[in-house]
Structure 1
Amino acid sequence: MQTTTSPQAAATDMQTAGDRKRKSALEQAGGTRGIVYSALPALVFVVANSLGGLKVGILAALLVALGIAVERLTRKESIQPALGGVFGVAIAAGISWYTGSAKDFFLIGIWASLAGAVVFVLSVALRWPLAGLIWNSATGKGTVWRADKRSRIYYDIATLVLAAIFGARFAVQQYLYQADEVGSLGFAKIAMGYPLLAVGLLAVAWAARASDKRLKVMGLLPAKRA
């Protein structure tokens, strides 16, 4: 869970991207350090579990998550990601401890991916694509984009890209979960986490630029805010 971004995490990252839209996808994802931090607990869990068993894996993942939280707080970064990381690892570890199965460390993240895919698709069906809603809320543009049908289509496409990313995560990781491939499951979680989210953010940025250009021409968006 902590290494694969949840729907809430995706929304937060899109809000961050809205505030820093001139920066690269890597910077929007928290930079190299943020990506490494997101991957470490799962990586440590897989390695420690293979070497010392489930209890060692759980303890190691928790210690790493706590260490990352302390480091973030020491650097005077936002406390929310620090606490969120520890909470996510603690929940995943608790489930794995309760069931006695290492693969269950990844269980919540797998189903969160499915929930994310469903929510993104549903938002398109309801004509309120989440990519447009979150981006424009974060950038202070409100819902003016919904006045233009083509802008809605742009954000529909970006939202469906995000839905495909979450759907792919679920399909691959659920397959590995059923096959009881703990090591491969950990690798898939890392590889399909922020790297794929960066692709989704690029799709959202494309939709935002295309929409802003049209809204400027239509006089619905001030030129200085494009």
Structure 2
Amino acid sequence: MKIIKDIKAELKNIVLSRTFDTILPPLIFALVNNFFNLNYALILAIFTALALILKRFIKKENWKYSWGGLFIVLFASALTLLTDNASSYFLPAIFSSSILLIITLTSIILGKPIAAWASHISRSWPLAWFWRKDIKPAYQEVSIFWAIFIALRLIIQIILFQSASPLFLAWANILLGWPFTITILIISYIYGLWRLKNLGGPGVEEFKNDKNPPWEGQKKGF
């Protein structure tokens, strides 16, 4: 089916190889800390992040996400050492979820939905197209959907953090990270295209070419 091929293409552009670099270090930390001690867990997590950078460099792959992963590992490790609490390793994830929720809710309240900004930045589509009355509701509704997901993830992270269970928190962060995010993106893509069709607005190319109605609407990409 065409929709399946489109979704695969979208996910390939979004995910690439960055998933592995972001989930492996915290998983190593949680597993090692569960069976050994905090210091070993921190050392191996940092070593894992460095090894991933080296691997990307040798294979001449995109390694900027590995550097981002290393920064997060170092920051989380510093928090863990300062608090002497293994669960503190996952505070950056809780903090990022909180900030993202605030940004998403603010964009919805201001009527400039974050889903539209994300699409504009990644696709370079005209910003004016997103703010049309026959286009924006689709992105507003998807942004509300994102806000619900982010809030749910944050609640689960806080509950597990308070339970002081690093291993459970690690698995929750992994499952509520890329796997759940990919599911959200697929649903957003399918719903977004369906909603744009019902709104009856022009497609991006039709908008660029200043085409008069009736429009065919957006056929691919959201």
TM-score range, shorter chain: 0.7 to 0.9
Once the two structures are TM-superposed, the CA of residue 137 in structure 1 deviates from its matched residue by 3.2
Structure 2 gaps, min length 5: 1-5, 210-215
Q: In the comparison of the two structures, how many residue pairs are matched?
A: 206
Superposed CA offset, 1:56-92 (max 9, x none): 1100110111111111122222332121111111101
SS in 2 for 1:215: coil
Aligned residue in 2 for 1:131: 115
* Counterpart Cα distance in 1 of 2:167 and 2:90: 11
**Superposed displacement of residue 182, structure 1:** 1.5
Give the aligned partner of residue 174 of structure 2. Answer: 190
Distance 1:220 1:209 in 2: 18
The 1-side partners of 2:57 and 2:193 are apart by: 33
Larger Rg: 2
SS of residue paired to 1:167? helix
Task: Report what 1:49 is aligned to.
Answer: 33
Residue identity opposite 2:202 in structure 1: L
Q: CA deviation at 1:224?
A: 11
Letter in 1 for 2:102: V
Structure with greater contact order relative to length (CA < 8 Å, sep ≥ 6):
1
Matched, 1:170 2:157: no
Q: Is 1:38 the equivalent of 2:22?
A: yes
Structure 2 CA distance for aligned equivalents of residues 89 and 214 of structure 1: 45
**Which residue in the other structure is 1:220 paired with?**
207
Tell me the TM-score normalized by structure 2: 0.81
> Tell me, which stretches of 5 or more residues in structure 1 are unaligned?
1-20
* TM-score computed with the length of structure 1 as normaliser: 0.80
CA, structure 1 residues 50+125, in 2 after alignment: closer, same or farther (shift >3 Å)?
same
| CA distance in structure 1 between the partners assigned to 2:47 and 2:67 by the alignment | 13
Shift of 1:184: 0.8
